[in-house]
Amino acid sequence: MSTKQVADLEDEPLVNPDPPSSPPPDPTAADPAWDGRSSKIALAYPILRDFTVIGPGEPCPTCKARGREDRTHQAHLKTSKDSSGVQRGPEAAHLATLQAMGFLRNSPESRQRAEDEARLAAVRGVARAANCRACKGTIARGEDGDFLAMCPNCGNRNGLPELAALTADGLRRILARDLVLGVEGLQEVEKQQLREEAAKLASAVEKGLAAGLQPLAEMLRELLAERKR
Ligand SMILES: [Zn+2]
Ligand SMILES: [Zn+2]
């Protein structure tokens, strides 16, 4: 990884273990070349880590757990550069993914992503515009200084904020809705769904035996009958 924002922040020795909420590194992914150090990353877009949403510029939860508020970075990844500049560690691949997807602040990838998202927002009509997208009529500004949210000529909506890229707060709202039960609750729901799936499968197989597999059942019965003779 050659980008500055990682190099500047990396290599804090893991003197204190991470808070108990972070899972231990997968031993099967352990890289013997990893020196055990972590890299701090600064975010350009929100991520979900250990069931917690972390947004750009927000305090790092790992540092917070150690009693320090630090907004220069948002997470510590279990990866560090070896002597030849290659990232080593259980989260080396994760770091590469985050970089490729434009999550790292001040990276070429995050700048590209910002451009892409802006273009997409323009196509979608996220922001309110001076002219109606439907009738092309002029739309005046309202009391809030922005253009009116509805076209006064044809009633078409002006601006579709719900189609904007998700912010950290938006992600939190979604998670709050889905994580009412908490992590354990979600796992319980998942187990229940698995049980229901298994029951459905069993019932489908039974029906299959009753209908489509009837000839096979007949054949087996005949074979067994022959044996008895
Ligand atoms: Zn930190
Ligand atoms: Zn209109």
| 3-state secondary structure (DSSP) of residue 190 | helix
> CA-CA distance, 207 to 99, in Å (whole number)?
50
> CA-CA distance, 88 to 79, in Å (whole number)?
5
Provide the domain limits for residue 188. Answer: 182-228
pLDDT at 216 over 80: no
In this structure, the answer to whether residues 35 and 74 fall within a common structural domain is yes
- Asked if residue 171 belongs to a domain, the reply is no
β-bridge partners, 88: 80
* Ligand 1 mean position, distance from CA 100 (Å): 22
* Ligand having the closest approach to the CA of 157: 2
* Ligand having the closest approach to the CA of 76: 1
Average pLDDT of the chain? 81
Q: Which two tokens stand for residue 139?
A: 């739309």
pLDDT of residue 2: 46
pLDDT band at residue 148 under the 50/70/90 scheme: very high
Domain count, the chain: 3
Q: Is the dihedral of CA 7, 61, 95, 107 positive or negative?
A: negative
* Ligand 2 mean position, distance from CA 136 (Å): 6
- Asked if residue 157 belongs to a domain, the reply is yes
Q: What is the largest CA-CA distance in the chain?
A: 95
pLDDT at 1 over 80: no
> CA-CA distance, 93 to 89, in Å (whole number)?
8
Q: For the whole model, what pTM was predicted?
A: 0.63
In this structure, the answer to whether residues 113 and 160 fall within a common structural domain is yes
* Ligand 2 mean position, distance from CA 139 (Å): 8
DSSP class of residue 138 equals B
* Ligand having the closest approach to the CA of 58: 1
More confident residue, 208 or 76: 76
* Ligand having the closest approach to the CA of 41: 1
* Ligand having the closest approach to the CA of 60: 1
Range from 73-77, 102-106, 222-226 carrying the lowest mean pLDDT: 222-226
pLDDT at 10 over 60: no
Q: Which two tokens stand for residue 150?
A: 């509805």
CA distance readout (Å), 77 to 26, 41, 80, 113, 204: 13, 7, 8, 22, 45
* Ligand 1 mean position, distance from CA 62 (Å): 5
DSSP class of residue 101 equals T
More confident residue, 202 or 47: 47
* Ligand having the closest approach to the CA of 129: 2
* Ligand 2 mean position, distance from CA 222 (Å): 76
Q: Name the residue type at position 8.
A: D
- Asked if residue 170 belongs to a domain, the reply is no
In this structure, the answer to whether residues 95 and 160 fall within a common structural domain is no
Q: Which two tokens stand for residue 93?
A: 């691949």
Other C-beta atoms within 10 Å of 192: how many? 10
In this structure, the answer to whether residues 154 and 217 fall within a common structural domain is no
- Asked if residue 142 belongs to a domain, the reply is yes
pLDDT at 5 over 60: no
Q: Summarize pLDDT for 98-111 with one digit per residue, the tens.
A: 999 999 999 999 99
- Asked if residue 188 belongs to a domain, the reply is yes
